[in-house]
Amino acid sequence: MQRIRLRYTKRGRLRFTSHRDFQRAFERALRRAEVPMAYSAGFTPHPKVSYANAAPTGTASEAEYLEIALTTHRDPEALRRGLDACMPDGLDLTDAVEARTSDFADRLQASAWELRLDGVAVEDAHRAVEAFLAADTVEVQRQTKKGVRTFDARAAVASLESAGVTQSEDDRPQQHPCAILRLVVRHLTPAVRPDDVLSGLRATADLAPPVPAAVTRLAQGPLDEETGTVTDPLVPDRDASPAATGPSAVAPDTTGAVTA
């Protein structure tokens, strides 16, 4: 049995798809691309697909991961291209590698996020960020299936900074204030999400964006504590491949790492 790890995105309007919606679209693509999937045993066999730490509905992402099991060996890149051609635009498969290491989920230690706050002045966002980072703890509440839960949002934040948007996509000056927050969050228990950090900013500095924030996950993977960099979790699998260890191997390109 061969295992392939894939990186995929949720862009544009497709960020509103739920995890179940993505599962249906992906399983349909598996059938259309005639991927030789391995199936589970039992009365209702289903394709062996494992998802890792999916982003919440409504959140865009450049770094979602899944793993599939095949009964026949396939080239990972050729498989990715065939599957990507069968996926809706916005749900794009951007990388593939043969799984040659274990404990992949353990490598997803942190996520890098970008939060666009339309209607918020950069100066206000900067003051709120300073207040949040200066606090020892920032308690927030979240409604769960078991009721309202209170937890510390500050402990999970590895870095948080603010910036501004000066031009729109068509290069015209911005007509309204817009602040950008760049955030690196450790994957702890309970999980701290970007909206929890926004709740913390409201609690510490009364920062309340007039419209919902546009949230994008830029990366998730191992966290370099010294630099605050979230690196590519697929690198160990590439390094363990025969091509990477052969005499003509070329060092993997890790320049795509996201630095907060």
User: pLDDT tens, 32-75?
Assistant: 999 999 999 888 899 999 999 999 999 999 999 999 999 999 99
Please name which of 188, 129, 115, 120 lies closest in space to residue 155, comparing C-alpha atoms. Answer: 188
How is residue 69 written in tokens?
């099991």
Please name which of 76, 87, 75, 69 lies closest in space to residue 33, comparing C-alpha atoms. Answer: 87
What is the amino acid identity at position 236? P
Element (H, E) at 220: strand 214-221
Alpha-helical (H) ranges within 108-251 are 122-134, 194-205, 235-239, 242-245
* 166 pLDDT tier (thresholds 50, 70, 90): low
For residue 123, the Cα-to-chain-centroid distance in whole angstroms is 28
Predicted pLDDT of residue 246: 54
Q: Residue for token digits 């010294």?
A: 226
pLDDT tens string 117-152: 999 999 999 999 999 999 999 999 988 888 888 999
Domains of the chain: 2-104 (3.30.70.580), 110-221 (3.30.70)
How is residue 63 written in tokens?
């770094």
202 C-beta neighbours (distance < 10 Å), count: 15
Predicted pLDDT of residue 256: 42
Greatest Cα pair distance in the chain? 60
Predicted pLDDT of residue 54: 92
Alpha-helical (H) ranges within 45-190 are 76-84, 104-107, 122-134
* 168 pLDDT tier (thresholds 50, 70, 90): low
152: phi then psi, degrees, rounded to nearest 5: -90, 120
How is residue 125 written in tokens?
């966002």
Per the CB < 8 A criterion, the answer to whether 237 and 99 are in contact is: yes
CA distance linking residue 216 with residue 60, whole number of Å: 4
How is residue 217 written in tokens?
């996950």
- For the chain, what's the residue count? 260
* pLDDT surpassing 90 at residue 173: no
